[in-house]
Every structure is written in C-alpha cells, then in structure tokens.
Structure 1
C-alpha cells in the first residue's frame, strides 16, 4: 500500500479536489491519504492557515474579527458548493471553529494550535465526504484515532516512538483512510501542531507506521529541481536523490519538502516520490536511501537568507579549557540554536538565524559573553546568506571547492565563511545577502553547464 499526501495547492478549490480524487482512485494501492489545509488559489490569494492565524490573533474579550472568520468559511463554502456536497458540512465547520474559540479563548498558545490545525482537520472531513459522494468507502481518521501521540510543545510537536505501533493498526482498516496533516495529540489531550509545513511530517509518520511501499508527496511542480527555479531559469530536474542530499537541501531553503519529514521514512527506508497533482503522469522525483552516482558530483544548490554572524575574539582562546562549552551554554540559556561555528586560533564565530536575537536577546547575550568569558571583542555581522552545494559524489571528486570559490569570486560575492561536514555531502558558503542571487547563478553555471540535461 501507498500513502499519498496532498499539499495546500492540491486542495485549494473544487477543481483541484477533483484532480486529487482522480489520482487517489487511479491506483488501488493508495490506501491512506493525508491532506493539508486549502492553499492559495492564485498568486495573490491567502492560505487558509494564514487566515486561521489572523483569526487567532484577533480574538479578545470582546470577540473576534468576523470578516476573517467569514473569509475562512468562504474558502470551504466554495469547495463544498463546487463539489455539490451537503450544506451541513459548512455548518459543522463553523460550529467547530466557534467551539475552539470558546474552549481556548484565554489560552493563547493552545488557541493558536487548535485553530491552525482546524484547516487540515476540516479539509480532511470535506475530502472524505467527497470520496463518499463518488461511491467510495472512505473514512475520516482523526490524528487521535490514528495514534499520533506527540510531545506537548505548542507549535513544535515531536512524534513519540510509541505512536508508530498504534499507527500500524491502520493497515487493518478497510477502504480509503483520510487523515488531516500538521498535528497530533499530546498525552495531556491537547492538540499540538508540528512546525509550519508539518503535513509532510504527518504523511511521513503515517507511511512509516503503516510500512508503506512508497510515500507519495503531491505538490504543484513536476519534480524537484537542482536549484530554486525562482532564482535560475529552466534548472535541471532531478529524477532521483538520496535522503541525505534532500535533507541538506530542504534544510537550506528547498521549500518543496519539510526537512524534518524525512526522519521517519529514512529509518524505514521507504522511498518518497514527489509528484505534480496537475500533471500526475509525470514521473516526478524519487527520494531513496542510495542512488547510483554518475559523473556529476553535485546534485543541487540551495540558499537561505536571514543569518548573522556573532564574532568573538580573545587572545589565547585556544588555550582556554571550556571556552566553547561556556559560550554555547549562554546560547542554550536563551534558547538560541546555532548553525555553524567557524573558528581560528584567537577567534570564533557563531552563525545563527538573525531573528533569534530579537526581543532583547542580543544585548543579554553580548553582555554575558563580555562578562563571563572576558573576551577582547564581540560584534555582530548581519544580512548573511548561506549557500549549500550538495552531492553524494563530492567526496570522490577533486576540485569541487575550487570551482565553487572561483564562481563566487566571479559573482562579486565576498565569502564570509566556508564549512564542510565530515560526511562530505555538502559545502556551505556564507556571503552577503545582497549577492546571493548572483552567487547561486554563477555556481549553477559552473556545476550544471548544460541546462537541457536531466540528471539521474
């Protein structure tokens, strides 16, 4: 059996719903279906999840923003009417939203999680009703019923190991199972959402728990490309990519697949196929445990902005036992995650996402570094972008780094940082945020000089 997950653009309106139904019914092995909330119907549209967040932030003792509430209902009304489903569905959605508001009005975190998750939850109910209207045996399965037991961290749920045993029982259910993505339930009985984009995580968990032969992730592109098509024209499409390569690319800016979603299926060795809802006959891109390496050592280039570098200098730093541990302890106390730590003899830099220093954290961290570590200097460099060059074949190739540095020089980019992990699957370059587009294009031209070819 297969698990198929459909993203927001795949279920944005009634026309897309019909495409999804045709895809589901075209393969009897598609037993479990995971759906996102309705996404954008056009480029200027607003995602349902964003509307739900706006609704949550508008709630106060005097009520809520009725215009936003009605805009959410209108999204479902358009779908329900377009599929000629029972009007009672819309009433049940309205009632469920009212119930959430009433129950969590005075608990901001729980309110936000419950309202955000309702986008997927209600969409799964509508999808189930539509499949039933087509004469199919389809059942809505709530995450609680499915056994998605998660940690009680609002907005950052993590699946608990014991959940998989319960999810495995879904294999015994008959017909098509429709499961909402993006959230689970804690042992305390609370709705808890995964990080944004977490419907991918739900699909992966269901596929792993049910021991699927394949996890299909349907979106709005024919395949995964070797570089962001918004940055480079007509980039090469990838037929196959490994989990490790995809993990690196997803973490570094590839929005096509949530980076945390790979872990459950990676552990089970379940292949993923990324496909296009609007063009389902296309083969898509397969994500696998191992692939045959060809003569091309680099398979992808990813970039992400919004980083900064905290630069620390202290004479004889390398002779001071425990310096790094005490520095990282300061970041841990403030709940700050770091990305890279390039260092020299008397200096060390911490690369992190700039937003983590908001709300007074920057001043507190800097004061503690000065007072507790007695450094000679500490400063911050903002507006950094990270560019990652990825490929399993890099470890066996000579001259990969020299090509990258020359390309960055040719682009006029000032290299702020170079880092390569011990796995040699990726190289990371830090550059000024203003030069990232030029840098990515120059790197692409070096590693993928013939744009027409499609890599295996």
Structure 2
C-alpha cells in the first residue's frame, strides 16, 4: 500500500487536481492521499492558507471576516465549477468555516481550514472517504506527535478503504485544533505512512525530487537520485525546502522509503529517501543554504584546553536571549549561527 501527499501547487487549481487523480488512478496501491491547501497558481497569486491567516487577523482586530473570506470561498467554488462538480452542497461547509473564524476560534483553526476544505472537495471528486485528522492526530505543546496518534489511526483505518486526508493539522492534548509548522502536510503523510504500515510514502510536489543545490542559484543543479533519512534532515534543516525536516521522524523506525516526485512530470524517478545508501562515488549528498542568520565568532589560543568553556559560553548566550541553531568548533575557535531576529 502506498501513501501519497500532494502539496499546495498540486491542488492549486482544477487542472492540477485532474493530474492528481490521474496519478492516483494509475496505481491501485495508492490508497491514502493527503492534501495541502491550494497554493499559488502563479507568482503573483496568494496561498489559501495566507488568506485564512488574514481572516483571523481581521477578527482579532474586532471586525468580521465575511468580505475577506469571499476570496477563500471563490477559490474553492471556482475549482468545483471547473471540475464539473455541484457547488451547492459545499456552500454550507464554507459558511460554517467562516462563522467559526468569526466566532474567534483562533489562528490555528483558521489556517487549518484550507486543508480541511480541500480534502472535503477532493474526497467528493474522487468518491473516496474523507478522514479528518482532528481528533486522530494528537500534537503535543512542543509540536511533536503524541504516541496515541498511531493507535487512534489504526483503529479507524480499514483495509481496502481509500481515504482523502487533510494535512497540516490535528488536535492538541486539550482537544483543540492544532497545526504543525508551515509545510506540515509532509508530517501528516509520514504519520499516515507509519500508522498504515505503508510500503512507500510518495511526496508529490512541483519539482522532480531533491536537488543537489538550489536550482534558483545554480543552473547545473541535478536531482539527487537516492539519499538517506539523515541526509535529507540535514539539508532540510538548513534551507532545502522540498521536504519538511520533521517528516522523517515518523517513518525512520519503520524504514518506510520516501519518494519525492513531480506532479507535473509523474514519470520522472524523483528522489528516493532510504535508511542507507552506498557512499562510493558520491559521498556528498547535496549543499543547501538558509538566509536570515547572524554569526558570533570567538577565537582564543588553546581555547579548548579550558574545561567547560563551551557550556559556560552557551549559558551566557541563553541569558541574553540568543539560542544558536548551528555551531562550528575548531581547535582555537567557536562559531555560533543564530536567527537574526534574536540579535
């Protein structure tokens, strides 16, 4: 059985959703599909999730989001029309979401509705079962997945049933809607892969895999054919945006392979992410970069002859509100990198 996740660009408009259906129909083993909220249709477009955050901001300022929410509703009704679907059954669902946002259910509830509405729509289009992740996926205060999640899902997943699942959100331990960080639909896909004991997790996006370097910066960038869980976590943690770094954790123990593929070029092999690969001939997986960081460099001869110096200096930084994300250590030097917003 294969679990598939389709990102925002793959469900941004009707023609993309038609591609998704063709991909899923091509392999009967594709039985669980996770979807993001509709993304940008072009570079000047707005993501549905951003629209929903704006709706919540409007409510927080003491105003109704009724007019602003019309943009959200129009995205979905437009897609429904282009897919040849009747929009009438969907209108009460849209109105209920708008009312809940207006009632002050908060930013996480508002943001999660993009995936919720998209999954409801695609489930109807496919004729599959809609499976809500609230209250099945339980997210702890620190953003990690509560172990109860897997038993919750195992109890409801039925062999042979085909499911459309909204990504990005679950519920808190208090039972309120809670989201992962942006891009968290990747995590939802990984959770469903582990819970269903999938043979493979396919992550469909708008590029043909993970590149060895950012193709926007280097024209000769090539797709990495195979890499390990550890390698993709390291690259994603410092700027490689194709796959969410936290999505590795649910699948790593079960050693479920991940295939990053392109919705617009489904025959491309993409990138396989596995537990182990042979290093001979290509010891370096890739290079990534991330902006928005500042650096502190400390140099002193025989620095590391001083016992406890690392801990003492790190404690001092924490006192001043600086929490480094990365560090480099030399014989006579320490370099810390931290988000510039902390400076």
Q: Answer yes or no: is the 8 Å Cα contact 1:214–1:270 preserved in 2.
A: yes
Q: Give the match for residue 71 of structure 2.
A: 71
Moved more, 52-61 or 113-122: 52-61
1:139 to 125, 129, 136: 129
The yes-or-no answer on 1:231 pairing with 2:197 is no
Number of aligned pairs? 342
User: What is the aligned partner in structure 2 of residue 4 from structure 1?
Assistant: 4
- Equivalent residue runs for 1:290-439 within 5 Å: 290-312=276-298, 322-332=308-318, 336-343=322-329, 348-355=334-341, 357=342, 362=343
1:152 Cα deviation (Å)? 3.2
1:149 to 116, 131, 138: 138
Which structure 1 residue ranges, 4+ long, deviate > 6 Å from structure 2? 313-317
Indicate how the Cα distance of structure 1 residues 303 and 4 shifts in structure 2: closer, same or farther if over 3 A, else same: same
Paired with 2:312 and 2:95, the residues of 1 have a C-alpha distance of 52
Q: Is the Cα contact below 8 Å between 2:168 and 2:183 reproduced in 1?
A: yes
CA separation of 1:227 and 1:312: change in aligned 2, threshold 3 A:
closer
Task: Tell me: higher relative CO, structure 1 or 2? Use CA pairs within 8 A at least 6 residues apart.
Answer: 2
Distance between the aligned counterparts of 1:218 and 1:81, measured in 2? 24
Q: Which residue of 1 aligns with 2:14?
A: 14
Structure 2 spans left out of the alignment, 5+ residues: none
* Contact kept in structure 1, 2:56 and 2:65, CA below 8 Å: no
Distance in 2 between residues matched to 1:88 and 1:51, nearest whole Å: 23
Deviation at 1:167, TM superposition (A): 2.0
- The question of 1:283 aligning with 2:269 is answered yes
C-alpha displacement of 1:174: 4.4
| DSSP 3-state at the match of 1:260 | helix
Deviation at 1:61, TM superposition (A): 5.5
The answer to whether the 8 A contact 1:313-1:346 is kept is: yes
1:328 to partner: Cα distance: 2.7
**Unaligned 5+ residue runs, structure 1?**
105-110, 133-137, 363-456
State the TM-score, normalizing by the size of structure 1.
Answer: 0.70
Match of 1:169 among 155, 164, 183: 155
1:115 positional shift = 0.7
